[in-house]
Amino acid sequence: MELIAAIERQLAAIGAQGLTRRRRTAETSCAPHQTVDGRAMLAFCANDYLGLAAHPAIIAALQEGAALYGAGSGASHLVSGHGRAHAQFEEHVAAFMAPHIPDVRALYLCTGYMANLAVLSALGADQNAMIFSEALNHASLIDGARLARAGVSVYAHGDVAMLEGQLAASTASTNIVVTDSVFSMDGDLAPLPGLLALCERYGAWLVVDDAHGFGVLGENGRGALEHFNLSSPHLVYVGTLGKAAGVGGAFIAAHASVIELLVQRARPYIYTTAAPPALAHALLTSLDIIGGTEGKARRRHLAQLIHHLDTALSLKRWQRPASTTPIQPIIIGGNDEAMQAAASLHAQGLWVPAIRPPTVPANTARLRVTLSASHTQADVAQLAAAINTLEGNVP
């Protein structure tokens, strides 16, 4: 059939560029040592930065939540799916983020992808609004800007001066600046203090996607806002809960009026079945761990592992952009070379993903190493030795 043949030509074109993606099947829970496609592997792929995805107390809370509230929510939040567990989690996470956002309220959504669609489509609903989007923003922010009726202007990576020029020239009814806090493929931080100062000067919103910062950054795990000691009514904060928090979903924390607008208007919140309430119940335990002494100890261990990897790697050709976060990229360049490097590590039982365009810019294919508080120093030493040897063997 011609329809199928056209699809097959598209797939062949993807293959010809060395861009075919394939999934591996993990047989066991997310942890450094896991069974993947039937083989024992040491993994450096997950965003489970604190090692909470398989934490016994969170698993027990998930079971308790299912016993209390059942398996599914049965409906969207505005119909009948909004449960006690969702409400409790929203109250707790709002209190947690209160030092950074005056009159804060929080909203729990099914995924971070949907949270970003919700924020940008609702704040940028007016066609006279403008969204100023950082060049390396996550795909969900790009898609959220597409869903908004607002105009979109992209500013260069980390370029506060360029953004200032765009804001100064803007005649929009509402200005919205949006950025990742920790860039997901590079591990570097956005210049949030400079961005917030501009947003205050020009009366703009600052939407911060802290998918890789929440739970990881800050003395108490309150993420990028705590790391930079920021507080402002201009902040609209998105924290995702499938990474450091170890469960799933996301929350938006902002001034109560912003949250009320989202409840009234954000289609990715309104027109979807509420997440299983057991997830929100488990997240209460996750939040306790992140904000308590155990979270502090896990962040301290993670910082030691990052330092250890930094000193143990010695590379000559491959590039290591400066990163102080658990995202540690090793830029190789070509798609095939990056795939071969990942395959050689895989043959040694080390699972490190190769990331290719369009996820990263052309000619910057890379290994994306992520560290977790559940790794040991010996795990990291094994990885560093393997990567050093691999690079030395490349002609």
Ligand X SMILES: *Cc1c(COP(=O)(O)O)cnc(C)c1O
- Provide, rounded to whole angstroms, the least separation between the CB of residue 46 and ligand X: 11
- Provide, rounded to whole angstroms, the least separation between the CB of residue 59 and ligand X: 19
- Provide, rounded to whole angstroms, the least separation between the CB of residue 321 and ligand X: 17
Quick one: which of 259, 278, 273, 285 has its CA closest to 110?
273
Closest residue to ligand X using C-beta atoms? 112
- Provide, rounded to whole angstroms, the least separation between the CB of residue 203 and ligand X: 26
Q: Which is nearer to ligand X, 250 or 278 (CB)?
A: 250
Question: Which amino acid is it at 113?
Answer: Y
**Residue 209 binds ligand X (CB under 6 A):** yes
Strand, coil or helix: 208: strand
d(CA 257, CA 324) in angstroms, rounded, equals 35
Q: Which is nearer to ligand X, 116 or 175 (CB)?
A: 116
Q: Which is nearer to ligand X, 101 or 250 (CB)?
A: 250
* DSSP-assigned letters across all residues of 327-374: EEEEEEESHHHHHHHHHHHHHTTEE--EE-TTTS-TT-EEEEEE--TT
Quick one: which of 294, 284, 295, 289 has its CA closest to 93?
284
- Provide, rounded to whole angstroms, the least separation between the CB of residue 147 and ligand X: 14
**Residue 240 binds ligand X (CB under 6 A):** yes
Q: State which of positions 210-239 bind ligand X (CB under 6 A).
A: 211-212
Is 386 in contact with 39 (CB distance < 8 Å)?
Answer: no
Token representation of residue 350: 């080390």
Place of tokens 């079945």: 273
**Residue 134 binds ligand X (CB under 6 A):** no
d(CA 90, CA 304) in angstroms, rounded, equals 32
d(CA 93, CA 249) in angstroms, rounded, equals 13
- Provide, rounded to whole angstroms, the least separation between the CB of residue 115 and ligand X: 7
Is 55 in contact with 247 (CB distance < 8 Å)?
Answer: no
Q: Which is nearer to ligand X, 41 or 109 (CB)?
A: 109
Count the residues in the chain: 395
Q: State which of positions 86-115 bind ligand X (CB under 6 A).
A: 111-113
Q: Which is nearer to ligand X, 53 or 390 (CB)?
A: 53
d(CA 81, CA 90) in angstroms, rounded, equals 15
- Provide, rounded to whole angstroms, the least separation between the CB of residue 209 and ligand X: 5
**Residue 144 binds ligand X (CB under 6 A):** no
**Residue 180 binds ligand X (CB under 6 A):** yes
Choose one: 118-126, 209-217, 299-307, 383-391; the region binding ligand X (CB under 6 A): 209-217
Q: What sections of 83-170 are H helices per DSSP?
A: 84-97, 112-123, 139-147, 160-169
Where along the sequence are the contacts to ligand X (CB under 6 A)?
111-113, 116, 138, 140, 180, 184, 209, 211-212, 240, 242, 250
